Amino acid sequence: MVDPCTEPYRNPSVVVVGAGIAGLSAAVKLSQKCKVVVLEAQNQIGGRISSFQSGNRTYDLGASWFHDIDNNQLYSDIQESILSSGRKPWSLEIDHTDENYEMNVIADDGSVSTVQDVSEKLKCAENILETIGDDASEFDMSLEEYAHTYLHPDVGIALRAYESYVGLLWSQMSAVETPPTLLDHGTDAFQFGGNELVIDFLKSKLNSANTELILNAPVTSISNSESGVTVSSAAGQFFCKHVIVTAPLAVLQKAKPSLFASPIPEPLENAITNATIAVLAKVVLEFPKRFWRKGLGRVCCIYKNTSVMFSCIYDTQNENEHSVNKTLLAFVPGPLGASIERDHASAWPELKQFIKPLVDSEVGIVDPHQVHVSSWSKNEYIRGAYSSLSKGQNMRDLVLPMMQGAWDDKLLFAGEHCTIQGIGCMDGAYVSGISAAEKVLND
């Protein structure tokens, strides 16, 4: 890595803005063929990956799931690397149709809806959405409106589980762009060893001879000319043929008035300005002893018309009389999630109201001895969980302008918001970084 105080490498072929999964995957591809500078605003690489050690476990406050692993290029590439190195696999594969990891939704009144029980009805209901039309801005309704209009209440309440996936309240979510089969997408893998391994994997693939990685180097402006692109940053100015911007969409929204010193196409400007940013706080709760019932998978608890998803994923690790899981994960969407990220001390007092349906009556609620909370929404270089779609928005208007870029492909974008397959996910960021790099190399 380069110290920003030293003379920077001022004339690379490509500048990559951001050293998260998308930025690193782009740099890996580019560094095999040309000179590349990676400018990272924070004092570490990894973007929204955030692993930490507590006791003998590693936890993630950032991304921790690989979705739809049969069609997940990142997971496939990492597993191949692990196997070739002789290391042991570090993830647990879970089929979301498995009754041993089912999802329950428990409403204020105590009524229980099981997502698996209503999945067939939800699939049938998806046909109704198709009749609404393709133009979400004209025909869309919120997921809540959709549930009340077309579904039986017992089925509709199960849709609240989407809030902890999409990061929006169901009153905000687009029904057209949130297909009811979202929760039934095959096999996922949960990473127990800390997803910093993903970043280590990408970093190991960089051609160091062609790569300069500079930390603490936020970009202040990007301007276009006939001969190339000028990128101004805290580490100095860089003149290059192409720039790939992988900063989170919420950061682009905040920076856009001054970031692009040359005009960008109206569809691209609208995509950045109008995008919806999900808020999803992640909380790791470590307890001195276990107090929740056995046999639970994921439980979405609704209290005062707000939902929280609890995951008992660590129950899936081998337990015996000497080793009992004492950790729960909580996913908190919307305003409550933002509030908890602003004030970490409020996390357990708030979550304690939601956790009651999980409690073993013979034990009672036990206060945690460690509470770890994400900080996505208050980090100035992240500003939210990931991109999402609210009522009236469609993926076409958000993703396509980002994928097309500007300035005759001199300005390109990559990230979880720049792909249709894997939007909002690690794999989407990974693939989009590779795709942007291939555009540059094919120019």
pLDDT band at 115 (very low <50, low <70, confident <90, very high): low
Mean pLDDT of 241-260: 95
Which residues have a Cβ under 8 Å from the Cβ of 340 and sit 6 or more positions away? 281, 283, 332, 346, 347, 350, 373
Three-class SS state of 30: helix
- Rounded to an integer, what distance in angstroms lies between the CA atom of residue 2 and that of residue 8? 8
Q: Order of strands, edge to edge, in the sheet holding 219-225? A: 219-225, 228-233, 236-240
pLDDT at 282: 97
Residues 262-311 pLDDT 10s: 999 999 999 999 999 999 999 999 999 999 988 888 889 998 889 999 99
Comparing 59-73, 95-109, 249-263, the range with the smallest average pLDDT is 95-109
Q: Are 207 and 38 in contact (CB under 8 A)?
A: no
Q: Which residue has the tokens 């396509």?
A: 400
Q: Are 253 and 260 in contact (CB under 8 A)?
A: no
pLDDT at 7: 46
Q: Are 250 and 382 in contact (CB under 8 A)?
A: yes
- Rounded to an integer, what distance in angstroms lies between the CA atom of residue 163 and that of residue 171? 10
- Rounded to an integer, what distance in angstroms lies between the CA atom of residue 401 and that of residue 161? 30
Residue ranges and CATH numbers for the domains of the chain are: 1-91+190-274+392-443 (3.50.50.60), 99-166 (no CATH)
Q: Is pLDDT at 390 greater than 80 in this prediction?
A: yes
Select from 26, 19, 16 the least CA-distant residue to 436: 26
pTM above 0.85, yes or no: yes
Mean pLDDT of 109-117: 67
Is 145 annotated in a binding site? The answer is no
pLDDT band at 229 (very low <50, low <70, confident <90, very high): very high
Three-class SS state of 55: coil
Residue of higher predicted confidence among 57 and 38: 38
Residue 85: phi and psi, rounded to 5, are -85, -10
Q: Are 211 and 1 in contact (CB under 8 A)?
A: no
Q: Are strands 187-191 and 211-214 parallel, antiparallel or unpaired?
A: unpaired
pLDDT at 314: 85
Q: Is pLDDT at 423 greater than 50 in this prediction?
A: yes
H or E segment to which residue 273 belongs = helix 266-274
- From residue 436, alpha-carbon distances to 50, 51, 184, 298 in Å are 25, 27, 30, 36
Q: Is pLDDT at 353 greater than 90 in this prediction?
A: yes
Q: Is pLDDT at 418 greater than 70 in this prediction?
A: yes
Is 139 annotated in a binding site? The answer is no
pLDDT band at 92 (very low <50, low <70, confident <90, very high): low
Mean pLDDT of 102-130: 63
Q: Are strands 276-277 and 387-388 parallel, antiparallel or unpaired?
A: antiparallel
Is 40 annotated in a binding site? The answer is yes
Q: Are 22 and 1 in contact (CB under 8 A)?
A: no
Comparing 12-16, 82-86, 154-158, the range with the smallest average pLDDT is 82-86
pLDDT at 96: 55
Q: Is pLDDT at 240 greater than 60 in this prediction?
A: yes
Residues 316-346 pLDDT 10s: 765 544 457 899 999 999 999 999 999 999 9
Select from 349, 344, 346, 357 the least CA-distant residue to 309: 357
pLDDT at 15: 98
pLDDT at 417: 95
Is 22 annotated in a binding site? The answer is no
pLDDT band at 2 (very low <50, low <70, confident <90, very high): very low
pLDDT at 167: 92
Residue of higher predicted confidence among 70 and 439: 439
Select from 290, 312, 317, 291 the least CA-distant residue to 301: 312
pLDDT at 125: 52
pLDDT at 296: 84
Residues 360-386 pLDDT 10s: 999 999 999 999 999 999 999 999 999
- Rounded to an integer, what distance in angstroms lies between the CA atom of residue 89 and that of residue 87? 7
pLDDT at 31: 97
Residue of higher predicted confidence among 133 and 78: 78
- Average pLDDT score over the chain: 85
Q: Is pLDDT at 119 greater than 80 in this prediction?
A: no
Torsional sign, CA 179, 180, 186, 188:
positive
Mean pLDDT of 118-142: 57
Comparing 23-32, 243-252, 420-429, the range with the smallest average pLDDT is 420-429
Q: Are strands 327-333 and 306-311 parallel, antiparallel or unpaired?
A: antiparallel
pLDDT at 124: 52
Q: Is pLDDT at 241 greater than 80 in this prediction?
A: yes
Residues 192-213 pLDDT 10s: 878 888 998 999 999 999 999 9
pLDDT band at 394 (very low <50, low <70, confident <90, very high): confident
Q: Is pLDDT at 85 greater than 80 in this prediction?
A: no
Q: Are strands 103-106 and 298-303 parallel, antiparallel or unpaired?
A: parallel
